[in-house]
């Protein structure tokens, strides 16, 4: 009986980890899929197209960094700061691997500037997280 409870506890821990890390893996898969497309839609105005694409880079890697942060178990303020750095580093590494991947996709090319926008998006998200994750104090209006 004791062994069954231990096994259930292990499965419960594994299930919680899967629930936390599955969105990270799915998002990474979506980024990979989009990077594998030989041609993405373009806006007719080149300047608008550039802004849309760079903002898209920032958004997709901001979301990835946020998912990395959310997936990592946290305890204590110091540990939370370390996780922000881990999330930034992993997002940056994935951005680099994404550009390397694009280098081999016909119709696509690798651009260092895209890595910069990816990391900037991740950084901005991770700078917001400590402020968004603080408990909100209740305000009594009456």
Q: Are 16 and 10 in contact (CB under 8 A)?
A: no
Mean pLDDT of the chain: 87
pLDDT of residue 112: 96
- Average pLDDT of the residues in 64-78: 84
Tens-digit pLDDT profile for residues 94-142? 999 999 999 999 999 999 999 999 999 999 999 998 877 666 565 555 5
| C-alpha dihedral, 53 to 67 to 38 to 116, nearest 10° | 50
Specify the higher pLDDT residue, 75 or 120. 120
Predicted TM-score (pTM) above 0.85: no
Per-residue pLDDT band at 1 (split at 50, 70, 90): very low
- Average pLDDT of the residues in 44-61: 95
| Nearest CA among 60, 57, 67, 69 for reference residue 116 | 57
pLDDT of residue 130: 81
pLDDT at 3 > cutoff 60: no
């Amino acid at each position: 009986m004791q062994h069954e409870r231990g096994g259930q506890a292990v499965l419960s821990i594994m299930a919680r980890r899967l629930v936390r890390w599955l969105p990270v893996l799915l998002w990474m898969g979506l980024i990979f899929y989009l990077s594998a497309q030989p041609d993405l839609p373009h806006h007719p105005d080149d300047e608008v197209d550039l802004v849309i694409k760079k903002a898209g880079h920032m958004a997709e890697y901001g979301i990835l960094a946020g998912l990395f942060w959310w997936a990592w178990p946290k305890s204590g303020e110091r540990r939370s700061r370390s996780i922000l750095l881990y999330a930034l580093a992993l997002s940056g590494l994935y951005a680099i691997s994404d550009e390397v991947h694009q280098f081999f996709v016909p119709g696509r090319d690798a651009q260092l500037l895209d890595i910069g926008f990816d990391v900037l998006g991740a950084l901005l998200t991770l700078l917001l997280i400590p402020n968004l994750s603080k408990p909100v104090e209740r305000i009594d209006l009456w």
